A and B are shown apart, each in its own frame.
Chain A
Amino acid sequence: MYFAHLREHARGHLERLGNGVTSQVWRIGFASRFLAYLVMHSGTALRRFRLTIAEIYFAGVLSLIIILVSGLFVGMVLGLQGYETLQRFGASESLGVLVALSLVRELGPVVAGLLFASRAGSAITAEIGLMKATEQISAMEMMAVDPIARVVAPRFWGGVISMPLLAALFSAMGVFGGYLVGVQLIGVDAGAFWSQMQAAVDVRNDIMNGVIKSLVFGVAVTWISVFEGYDAVPTAEGVSRATTRTVVTSSLAILALDFVLTALMFTGGNKQ
């Protein structure tokens, strides 16, 4: 009797697990088809580039403040912590290298990506979700205008274009922050700071890889954002849930993708 009960219990759990997995797989498939359709119907967004420029302003320019200020502070912290460790080994002149490589390879794309997801990604999801809830998407369909081509695609490309630029600005600001703390405040030699950085940072291995990372994060975050918005349940609660999911899923995606990309890019001793 007891075992029968236990078996039932276990089966209930298994069933729920199975249902959960199936619906997640189904959702990933749906999101992939959505992306394929979106890319195929991007003609309007690229031909009438003004639409995409408006979204670059919305996602990129309006995110500048948070990106620049955060970049500055992250760089300043790197300067402090880096100096603290490096001076133990008498290598404090390498501070520029440490700050620049940390930012360009990792912190620039990753932190800018996380900030972009919470600042711009959530806004994109909320906007598209609310357009759906207030029947603006249906109205567009009724006017024989494809909402994916007219509303979603410009937002997608606007985000994809903005993200690498924001990551680059974040890194630049961070290097400046490291310089402020390391050279101006602590007194590391400015010539060593810059020249060692120049010698150690490689365009292809470091900067290009950072740009590739930020581009991948840009695609992932914007894809998640537009999909969650378009797929949102058209109610106040549905839009709020979709916005939360955008931030959570995007953040996890950035961190997981960062590990995969780092593993592909920086192993095998292709860099000192």
Chain B
Amino acid sequence: MQQSPIVEIENVSFGYEAARPVLREVTLAIPRGAVVGIMGQSGCGKTTLLRIIMAAYLPTAGTARVLGAATSTLEREGLYAMRRKMGMLFQFGALFTDMSVYGNVAFPLLEHTTLPAELIHDLVMLKLQAVGLRGAAHLMPAELSGGMARRVALARSIALDPELMLYDEPFTGLDPISFGVIVRLIRELNDSLGATSIIVTHDVQEALGVVDYVYFMAAGQVIAQGTPDDIRASAEPFVRQFVNGMREGPVPFHYPAPEYGADLELAGS
């Protein structure tokens, strides 16, 4: 039997202001168990789409169905119940700066369970072992490198064994070694937890190596989709420009500006 998708976005539109829509009739589905990439240029609406999925915003039109429930119908209790099944890795980790690494990973367990302290200790160590930072449990977030902080945040977001993992730009600002570690962890954790992962990123080349399926977004719409191989072979000009990092293409290098000559006040222009 075919399982229903874990996330279904149907004709979703959204704008922070009515006059400027950020998402325009987006439709996509995330199948269970997959690692799916949502890619596109900065400002194309992909982070907004992520916020729609995590129900930080509600669609102004259309339906976002996450873990079987339409987000716009959920009350606070239902929303929190849904989020307990989700994990989110923020771009820069968003660790609690007043708590140690241990405290950060223990936080969701302490807030949502009544487990005895020894068991919580074991679970925290288990999660930290999974990201290779059991030895850093006593450190404070300020003492961590960027890559380590993101791994701690990853351990924290999987503390409650989520069904759905969301990654917001997980590769930004990482050195090649940390990057390789994060990529491997995303895949391993997804498969060992039996979870589904959504990666929002503009690091296309890097992400194409991890994901099973890609949605490509531009100007608030899905303009291409397929497996990484489909995307690499795509003839769509925008996708080609983006995947190959070309300077000229449908996305101009120059921000709209008056004539160059006029700005330099050249005679005769």
Which residues of A are interface residues toward B (Cβ below 8 A)? 131, 134-136, 138-139, 141-146, 150
Contacts and interface: CB of A to CB of B under 8 A. Distances in A.
Contact of A139 (B81, B84, B90): B90
Contacts of A131: 96-97
Contacts of B92: 134-135
B111 A136 contact: no
Interface in B91-130: 91-92, 94-97, 107-108, 111-112
Contacts of B90: 135, 138-139
A139 B54 CA distance: 11
Contacts of B240: none
Given A136-B97, A138-B56, 7 more contacts: A135-B91, A136-B94, A139-B90, A139-B96, A143-B84, A145-B107, A146-B80
B246 to A, nearest CB: 33
B86 interface: yes
Contacts, number: 46
Point out which of B84, B91, B94 has the most chain A C-beta atoms below 10 A from its C-beta.
Answer: B94
B55 to A, nearest CB: 10
A135 B93 CA distance: 8
Determine the interface band of chain B, counting residues with CB < 8 A from chain A: 20 to 34
B108 A134 contact: no
A150 B86 CA distance: 19
A135 B80 contact: no
A136 B96 contact: yes
B112 A144 contact: yes
Interface of B: 54, 56, 79-81, 83-84, 86, 88, 90-92, 94-97, 107-108, 111-112, 153
Nearest to A44: B111
Contact of A143 (B79, B81, B97, B111): B111
Instruction: List 5 A-B pairs, minimum CB-CB distance, nearest first.
Output: A135-B94, A139-B94, A144-B80, A144-B83, A142-B88
Contacts of B83: 141-144
B111 A134 contact: no
B111 A150 contact: yes
A175 B91 CA distance: 54
Point out which of B91, B92, B108, B112 has the most chain A C-beta atoms below 10 A from its C-beta.
Answer: B108
A224 to B, nearest CB: 22
A192 to B, nearest CB: 52
Given A138-B56, A138-B90, A143 B96 contact: no
A134 B56 contact: no
B135 to A, nearest CB: 24
Contacts of A144: 79-81, 83-84, 111-112
Contacts of A136: 94-97
